Amino acid sequence: MGADHSTEPGIPIPGPVLVSAEDLANRVAELGARITEDYEGKSPLLVGVLKGAFMFMSDLARAIDLPVELDFMAVSSYGHSTRSSGVVRIVKDLDLDLADRDVIVVEDIVDSGLTLNYLRKNLLGRNPASLEVCALLVHEDHKLDEKILKYEGFRIPPKFVVGYGLDVAQKYRNLSDIRVVEN
């Protein structure tokens, strides 16, 4: 996307780059290598949280040198807002059974931890052999137990960001880097 970020009135626009496309590619490769090592001899199931994690999950799956399977869930706690509503709901559930599977939840961003806590509880109830989380971005002030996030890409300040799958009102997912939203 060029310098012109014209948009609909009232929709915030992307501002300065927080994480470059090059840094994203390098970190995804590192995460893929680590997962490959940790799951040697296994076929993990990557569960992507739509829509924000789809680009990250696509790149991550290609960086893992194992036979992985992919499935997706869609959850909502934001709607079209830049703030969580505090209520998480499943919009699209998984197609695959998790019983006795090694599952890695692939999240775009962890901020309040509300969505991730809800997802973990829901997925653990489906009896996976193991359940880990790989989050691309983690807000520095998140309130999750550190053991929950086995794989994380970047710690970022608690700002609203877009790009590389993340959006505001369904816009800017296609940016190749991650940018802070300007109001």
Catalytic residue from among 95, 102, 108, 111: 111
User: Burial of 183 by CB count in 10 Å (0-12 exposed, 13-18 middle, 19+ buried)?
Assistant: exposed
Distances (CA, A) of 58 to 72, 124, 133, 172, 182: 12, 24, 16, 17, 28
Active-site residue, 111 included = yes
Residues 48-69: b if buried by 16+ CB within 10 A, e if exposed: bbbbbbbbbbbbbbebbebebe
What is d(CA 28, CA 178) in angstroms, rounded to the nearest whole number? 14
- Catalytic residue positions? 111
